[in-house]
Protein backbone atom coordinates (compact mmCIF):
# COMPACT_ATOMS: atom_id res chain seq x y z
CA UNK A 1 0.00 0.00 0.00
CA UNK A 2 1.34 3.42 -0.93
CA UNK A 3 1.64 6.39 1.38
CA UNK A 4 2.41 10.05 0.85
CA UNK A 5 4.44 12.51 2.89
CA UNK A 6 5.07 16.23 2.65
CA UNK A 7 8.54 17.16 3.89
CA UNK A 8 9.84 20.68 4.61
CA UNK A 9 13.55 21.04 5.26
CA UNK A 10 15.09 24.16 6.78
CA UNK A 11 18.72 25.26 7.05
CA UNK A 12 21.40 25.63 4.40
CA UNK A 13 19.48 23.53 1.86
CA UNK A 14 19.47 25.66 -1.28
CA UNK A 15 22.47 25.91 -3.60
CA UNK A 16 23.97 22.67 -2.21
CA UNK A 17 22.49 20.11 -4.68
CA UNK A 18 19.75 19.10 -2.22
CA UNK A 19 17.11 18.83 -4.96
CA UNK A 20 19.31 16.86 -7.35
CA UNK A 21 20.56 14.42 -4.70
CA UNK A 22 17.00 13.94 -3.40
CA UNK A 23 15.77 13.25 -6.93
CA UNK A 24 18.50 10.65 -7.44
CA UNK A 25 17.67 8.88 -4.16
CA UNK A 26 13.91 9.02 -4.82
CA UNK A 27 14.40 7.36 -8.20
CA UNK A 28 16.57 4.64 -6.61
CA UNK A 29 13.79 4.02 -4.06
CA UNK A 30 11.07 4.04 -6.77
CA UNK A 31 9.32 7.05 -5.24
CA UNK A 32 7.24 9.55 -7.19
CA UNK A 33 6.51 13.21 -6.54
CA UNK A 34 8.41 16.48 -6.65
CA UNK A 35 10.84 18.77 -4.83
CA UNK A 36 11.27 22.52 -5.03
CA UNK A 37 13.00 25.46 -3.39
CA UNK A 38 10.71 27.74 -1.39
CA UNK A 39 11.09 31.52 -1.27
CA UNK A 40 11.90 31.41 2.47
CA UNK A 41 15.06 29.33 1.85
CA UNK A 42 13.55 25.95 2.70
CA UNK A 43 13.00 22.95 0.45
CA UNK A 44 9.58 21.30 0.07
CA UNK A 45 9.03 17.70 -1.03
CA UNK A 46 5.78 15.92 -1.84
CA UNK A 47 6.50 12.24 -2.33
CA UNK A 48 4.51 9.05 -2.69
CA UNK A 49 5.47 5.37 -2.58
CA UNK A 50 5.96 2.35 -0.37
CA UNK A 51 6.43 3.11 3.31
CA UNK A 52 9.91 1.60 3.61
CA UNK A 53 11.22 3.73 0.74
CA UNK A 54 9.57 6.84 2.16
CA UNK A 55 11.17 6.23 5.56
CA UNK A 56 14.61 5.91 3.94
CA UNK A 57 14.11 9.20 2.10
CA UNK A 58 12.86 10.93 5.27
CA UNK A 59 15.88 9.67 7.24
CA UNK A 60 18.21 10.97 4.52
CA UNK A 61 16.54 14.41 4.63
CA UNK A 62 17.77 14.94 8.20
CA UNK A 63 21.33 15.11 6.82
CA UNK A 64 21.04 15.79 3.09
CA UNK A 65 24.08 16.16 0.87
CA UNK A 66 27.53 16.77 2.39
CA UNK A 67 27.47 20.51 1.77
CA UNK A 68 24.02 21.01 3.35
CA UNK A 69 23.21 21.96 6.93
CA UNK A 70 19.80 20.75 8.02
CA UNK A 71 18.38 22.66 11.00
CA UNK A 72 14.82 21.36 11.02
CA UNK A 73 12.60 18.85 9.21
CA UNK A 74 8.78 18.94 9.27
CA UNK A 75 6.75 15.91 8.19
CA UNK A 76 3.09 15.60 7.33
CA UNK A 77 1.89 12.10 6.43
CA UNK A 78 -1.15 12.10 4.16
CA UNK A 79 -3.40 9.69 2.36
CA UNK A 80 -2.09 9.50 -1.21
CA UNK A 81 -4.42 11.62 -3.31
CA UNK A 82 -2.15 12.74 -6.14
CA UNK A 83 -0.79 10.46 -8.83
CA UNK A 84 2.77 11.17 -9.98
CA UNK A 85 4.59 9.64 -12.95
CA UNK A 86 8.15 10.56 -11.90
CA UNK A 87 10.09 12.39 -9.22
CA UNK A 88 10.59 15.87 -10.65
CA UNK A 89 12.42 19.03 -9.67
CA UNK A 90 9.95 21.91 -9.79
CA UNK A 91 11.15 25.42 -10.56
Q: Which residues are catalytic?
A: 19, 37
Q: Report the C-alpha gap between 10 and 41 in whole angstroms.
A: 7
Q: Report the C-alpha gap between 46 and 84 in whole angstroms.
A: 10
Interstrand relation of 32-37 and 87-89 (parallel, antiparallel or unpaired):
parallel
Q: Are 49 and 3 in contact (CB under 8 A)?
A: yes
Amino acid sequence: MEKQVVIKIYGLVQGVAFRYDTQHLAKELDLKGWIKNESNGSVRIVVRGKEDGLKKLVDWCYQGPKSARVDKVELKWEEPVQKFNNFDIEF
